[in-house]
Structure 1
């Protein structure tokens, strides 16, 4: 086996010199600080360029003192991630430059002990352009979904106020005509037309319900979800229970997003789960709405099956609201869909 050549110790530069060269020449911004109070002990040239501070302005002062943390809680979250037993993770943070402009960075940090003192070593990659592009994409998609919901509501109202009312009036006229027509053949034809009209009315009512739930605007999310359960399970041997633990009125935006997620989850239950019952729990916790849809169906292996269009649709809606989606399932053990949504500001706020 061929041996790897080594540099004789006499010709090897001191480790401190090597470290300093790597530290200074790195294209990634690196900063070293005390974990306890955030005092900056060293920073490389890339960090100085990114923040706009000269090194002499940084050393011996903390990023909080310099006004670089718009939200000090973010530093605490970074420190917790750096101390995590599984090693350093990547955390997205906001930081203010010397001129006050805000930049976004992906921080890879680790807490280490040096001479009995806990030190935080962090490398930062500026991702502001990528972050702002993603924010713009998120904004446009969110506006598109909101416009689509408004259009669905308008169409549902038009159908209810015009088409459904006209068909109902025609049905009443047919019933009066059937009473006036004394011939057996005439009554038979009228009855067939009446059945066709009733079927058309039923399909249109179903369509308008799918477009926009009327009870959501009138009585809120919990009742709208209960009506949805009754509507979807009509004629099926499936029981849907709604547990309402919301402690306050929900903003309209949060309500419609939660409703659409429950609608998708419950549709999946009825189409795939072979369940006998499902529970929908709605709960406000702090500034979040927690939604849980749990069924007692056959379950599945999420890793083996992957995400179908229904789950992808739910995930997209949740991500647009900066929420979280978690799916737990196993063969023969049912499925849980858990969603957490930040409460969107109300129209008044």
Structure 2
């Protein structure tokens, strides 16, 4: 059992002091009454007013005193409970503040890492593609100046290939920053494209299942959270799982949407369900919409990531109207 807090201990000390003061006053009253023989005087007074039953007043006052004592004890117990509840609330608030601070630090670090990765990609891939394109256009100008039609044609063809590679790099970078397919193709097609592209890069089989058209009629903010969680989960599979198969399932039950990403890799470490910064941010995205993000797995048994989101009633109504 935990030791009492300082506030509770102070409350108990004050109660003990008040009780000691009451007992002291009672003893002093008894001593003074003995010296002045107050009982005999009061008895004579009550005897003269027997018609008013004044002699029974002492018993009523005794019952009143006992009731007040019980009331005071109950109030003390309630005050201790209120203090304990307040201290628990303060402790929870402190833990929440620490978690928010940790999350803020993690998200800042994640943002900086993403910026560094984008800068590196711009420098390494697009910078090289731009340099190669400039070289080919210079060769094209020289060939045209020299009247070398074949050389000019070859340089133009190579420049066209470099421009196409540069365009693919820009599109891939834009897809990382904002999934354009969500606006044009919808969530189901975007998740299928995500699985196909991930499979091509990782060499790991990836299957997407949209159970009963669960992706239909979702709000844009819900689509974005679902896509980002699936993206981060597959990224973790590629980095850590050493899996042979992965699956992405989107399902709906009533007004609850569920995204399940599973793999048959090495599973979670034995020390617990540790989340990387990416999944930590994904969990905060889910919490912002009233949902949850859970990790399940054991060493050697694969990993299962489950995102659940409550759907607004207007979204559910839109789905029904679309289906009808």
TM-score range, shorter chain: 0.5 to 0.7
Q: 1:224 aligns with which of 170, 174, 190?
A: 190
Matched, 1:275 2:246: no
Q: TM-score, normalised by structure 1?
A: 0.49
Q: 1:22: how far off?
A: 2.8
Matched, 1:23 2:77: yes
Q: Which residue of 2 aligns with 1:259?
A: 227
Matches within 5 A, 1:47-86: none
Matches within 5 A, 1:95-134: none
Matched, 1:293 2:261: yes
User: Structure 1 residues 281-290 or 303-312, which shifts more?
Assistant: 303-312
Q: 1:199 aligns with which of 145, 156, 165?
A: 165
Q: 1:309: how far off?
A: 1.3
Q: TM-score, normalised by structure 2?
A: 0.52
Matches within 5 A, 1:324-343: 324-343=292-311
8 Å contact kept, 2:187–2:227: yes
Q: 1:260: how far off?
A: 0.9
Q: 1:265: how far off?
A: 0.7
Matches of 1:28 and 1:18, distance apart in 2:
15
The gaps in structure 2 that reach 5 residues or longer are 1-22, 24-65, 105-129, 319-324
Question: Which of the pair is proportionally richer in strand?
Answer: 1
Matches of 1:253 and 1:346, distance apart in 2:
14
8 Å contact kept, 1:299–1:334: yes
Q: 1:282: how far off?
A: 0.6
Q: 1:339: how far off?
A: 0.9
State the number of aligned residues.
212
Q: 1:281: how far off?
A: 0.8
Matched, 1:237 2:190: no
8 Å contact kept, 1:274–1:297: yes
Matches of 2:304 and 2:174, distance apart in 1:
28
Q: 1:182: how far off?
A: 5.5
Q: 1:16: how far off?
A: 6.4
8 Å contact kept, 1:254–1:344: no
Q: Which residue of 2 aligns with 1:313?
A: 281
Matches of 2:261 and 2:246, distance apart in 1:
7
Q: 1:323: how far off?
A: 1.0
After superposition, the CA RMSD in angstroms is: 4.6
Q: Which residue of 1 aligns with 2:37?
A: none
8 Å contact kept, 2:206–2:246: yes
Q: 1:209: how far off?
A: 2.0
Larger RCO (alpha carbons 8 Å, 6+ apart): 2
Q: 1:18: how far off?
A: 8.2
Matches of 2:88 and 2:188, distance apart in 1:
44
Q: 1:303: how far off?
A: 3.1
Q: 1:257: how far off?
A: 1.0
Give the secondary-structure state (helix, strand or coil) at the position aligned to 2:217: coil
Matches of 1:207 and 1:251, distance apart in 2:
25
